[in-house]
């Protein structure tokens, strides 16, 4: 496909409850679609447990590879929430209670209710900027290119809305979707030829199982509308004549 200068991103989902299947992730698909709409290319997602070594390794590997890293999970008040401390460790910076974060928590809690557990949610690595949380107030934070968000989907979503204006955007790709019930195996070789003849677009073929049997979407993506349309015309002609 045409080389794009679009920013790249990686996503890290932090939570033992996803790995043991108890909680079904709802954040990957949301964030993937959100970033795509901003013209940001999500290149990799990792799901890891609430373990310092795993968090440090994933954050340090991916922040070196991508323009942006996003994390979800592990920033609550309980003992199993270790993301903020692990991010500080990954960057080799101190972490301590952040006065601005305490102010945010005081929008929700009376001073006498700001106990040790809740104050933990104000522990922020030094040098980080806060991400506001309009729902439960406990903030996320941004340290260099790493964006640390909550795991609860609706809180993650308001944090994403809050940080999005600061992200460099790319050019969203043109997308042409062709639905067909012609079997993938029937058109595979013809589609391979079309893909070879249209090197500036990306062509994918995605089968799924429906109540009426297999159905497939052929999806064409590219930066240029004309080249996408030309490839789509070729696919339509191929499907009609096969």
State which of positions 66-105 bind a copy of itself (CB under 8 A): 76-80
Cα 191 from Cα 176, distance rounded (Å): 15
Residue 197 as a binder of a copy of itself (CB under 8 A): the answer is no
- Residue 166, token pair as written in the block: 């600061």
**What is the rounded (10 degree) CA torsion for 55, 56, 61, 63?**
90
Residue from 44, 102, 180, 229 in contact with a copy of itself (CB under 8 A)? 44
3-state DSSP call for residue 180? strand
The smaller minimum CB distance to a copy of itself, of residues 95 and 114, is found at 114
Residue 234 as a binder of a copy of itself (CB under 8 A): the answer is no
What's the Cα-to-Cα distance from 129 to each of 96, 143, 153, 163, rounded to whole Å?
13, 7, 21, 10
Percent helix, percent strand, percent coil in the chain, to nearest 5: 40, 25, 35
Quick note: the x/- pattern for a copy of itself over 107-146, rule CB under 8 A, is --x---x-xxxx-xx-------------xx----------
Residue 238 as a binder of a copy of itself (CB under 8 A): the answer is no
Residue 181 as a binder of a copy of itself (CB under 8 A): the answer is no
Q: How far from each other are the two terminal CA atoms of the chain, in whole angstroms?
A: 26
The smaller minimum CB distance to a copy of itself, of residues 127 and 199, is found at 199
3-state DSSP call for residue 15? coil
The smaller minimum CB distance to a copy of itself, of residues 3 and 22, is found at 22
The smaller minimum CB distance to a copy of itself, of residues 165 and 189, is found at 189
On the CB side of 198, how many CA atoms lie within 13 Å of its CA? Answer: 26
State which of positions 141-170 bind a copy of itself (CB under 8 A): 152-155
Shortest CB 190 distance to a copy of itself, Å:
8
Among 83-91, 93-101, 141-149, 205-213, the segment contacting a copy of itself (CB under 8 A): 205-213
Site size for a copy of itself (CB under 8 A): 72
Cα 62 from Cα 83, distance rounded (Å): 15
């Amino acid at each position: 496909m045409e080389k794009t200068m679009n920013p790249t991103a990686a996503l890290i989902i932090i939570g033992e409850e996803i790995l043991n299947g108890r909680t079904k992730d709802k954040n990957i698909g949301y964030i993937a679609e959100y970033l795509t709409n901003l013209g940001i290319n999500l290149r990799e997602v990792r799901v890891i447990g609430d373990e310092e070594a795993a968090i440090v390794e994933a954050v340090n590997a991916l922040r070196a590879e991508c323009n942006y890293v996003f994390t979800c999970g592990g920033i609550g008040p309980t003992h199993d929430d270790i993301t903020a401390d692990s991010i500080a460790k990954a960057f080799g910076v101190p972490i301590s209670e952040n006065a601005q974060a305490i102010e945010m928590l005081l929008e929700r809690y009376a001073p006498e209710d700001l106990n040790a557990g809740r104050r933990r949610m104000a522990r922020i690595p030094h040098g980080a900027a806060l991400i506001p949380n309009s729902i439960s107030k406990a903030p996320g934070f941004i340290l260099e290119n790493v964006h640390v968000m909550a795991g609860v989907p609706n809180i993650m979503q308001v944090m994403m809305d809050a940080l999005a204006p600061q992200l460099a955007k790319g050019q969203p790709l043109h997308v042409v979707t062709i639905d067909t019930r012609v079997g993938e195996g029937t058109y595979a070789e013809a589609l391979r030829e079309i893909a070879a003849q249209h090197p500036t677009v990306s062509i994918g073929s995605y089968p799924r199982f429906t109540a009426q049997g297999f159905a497939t979407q052929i999806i064409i993506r590219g930066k240029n509308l004309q080249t996408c349309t030309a490839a789509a015309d070729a696919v339509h002609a191929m499907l009609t004549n096969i």
